[in-house]
């Protein structure tokens, strides 16, 4: 005869489910199942996306665990779907008692339709129309200036946009000495990469 699950265990799983549900809302539903009561197994649902209710029956995977203590305890990222057809990525974690029998499960169901919408939006945003127009923005010179700025910043364990004013002035003086500021749009390129105005670079170069 299957033992009853520890009520404290189920409550602790419910607490974990609450934390996971809030952390991954609105994408992920988290369900706690009491496998000792398959006819009304659902003990708790957080961030409900499936429309199921507490007290509804166990899933097929839950039945498999009830019937086989050797069934895998953790099954991750398997294809699933909600009743309305939405695609889902699920992970199921079986919980055993001290005798080695499954008594509960913690299940995570991620609604993929939300992410698929993001993918479509990103694809549209990053699409480049075919065109015979060609333009160069002094890429070769810009790359050389930016590389020099980044190298200087790296020696100070920071980024180009986080340089202290004194360090920035030293850098600009080095760029000037190396002739980078005499390159067409050199000041603008350096200023943009450091996140300051051209006037600031001009002042630092004096």
Q: What are phi and psi of 137, to 5 degrees?
A: -115, 45
- The verdict on residue 197 lying in a domain is yes
**Overall number of domains in the chain:** 2
Predicted pLDDT at 157: 85
Predicted pLDDT at 1: 46
Decide if 5 contacts 79 (C-beta within 8 A): no
- The verdict on residue 121 lying in a domain is no
Predicted pLDDT at 135: 46
User: Per the confidence metrics, is the pTM higher than 0.75?
Assistant: no
Are 150 and 77 in a shared domain? no
Angle between the N-to-C axes of helices 165-177 and 186-194, in degrees from 0 to 180, rounded to the nearest 10: 150
**What is the spatial order of strands in the sheet that 87-96 belongs to?**
42-46, 28-34, 102-111, 87-96, 74-81
Decide if 26 contacts 124 (C-beta within 8 A): no
**Least confident range of 70-74, 92-96, 165-169, 185-189:** 185-189
Tell me the C-alpha to C-alpha distance, in Å, between residue 135 and each of 65, 69, 113, 139, 187: 62, 66, 38, 10, 20
CA neighbor of 110 nearest in space, from 49, 62, 56: 49
Question: Is pLDDT at 136 greater than 80 in this prediction?
Answer: no
Question: Is pLDDT at 189 greater than 70 in this prediction?
Answer: yes
Are 30 and 80 in a shared domain? yes
Each residue's pLDDT tens digit, 64-123:
999 999 999 999 999 999 888 889 999 999 999 989 999 999 999 999 987 877 777 777
Are 39 and 73 in a shared domain? yes
Range of the domain at 98: 7-113
Residues 6+ away with beta carbon under 8 Å from 136 = none
Are 15 and 108 in a shared domain? yes
134: its two tokens? 């060609």
Mean pLDDT throughout 179-198? Answer: 87
Predicted pLDDT at 2: 52
Predicted pLDDT at 3: 58
11 prior amide bond cis, ω within 30: no
CA distance 87 to 134: 42
- The verdict on residue 109 lying in a domain is yes
């Amino acid at each position: 005869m299957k033992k009853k699950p520890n009520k404290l265990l189920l409550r602790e799983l419910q607490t974990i489910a609450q934390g996971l549900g809030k952390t991954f809302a609105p994408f992920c539903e988290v369900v706690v199942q009491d496998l000792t009561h398959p006819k009304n197994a659902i003990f708790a649902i957080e961030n409900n996306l499936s429309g199921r209710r507490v007290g509804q029956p166990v899933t097929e995977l839950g039945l498999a665990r009830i019937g086989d203590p050797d069934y895998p305890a953790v099954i991750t990222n398997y294809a699933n779907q909600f009743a309305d057809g939405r695609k889902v990525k699920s992970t199921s974690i079986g919980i055993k008692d001290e005798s080695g029998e499954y008594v509960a499960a913690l299940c995570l169901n991620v609604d993929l339709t939300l992410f698929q919408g993001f993918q479509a939006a990103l694809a549209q945003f990053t699409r480049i129309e075919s065109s015979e127009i060609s333009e160069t923005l002094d890429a070769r010179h810009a790359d050389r200036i930016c590389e020099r700025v980044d190298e200087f910043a790296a020696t100070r364990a920071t980024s180009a946009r986080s340089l202290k004013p004194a360090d920035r002035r030293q850098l600009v003086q080095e760029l000037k000495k190396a002739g980078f500021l005499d390159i067409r749009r050199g000041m603008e390129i350096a200023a943009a990469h450091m996140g300051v105005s051209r006037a600031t670079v001009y002042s630092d170069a004096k």
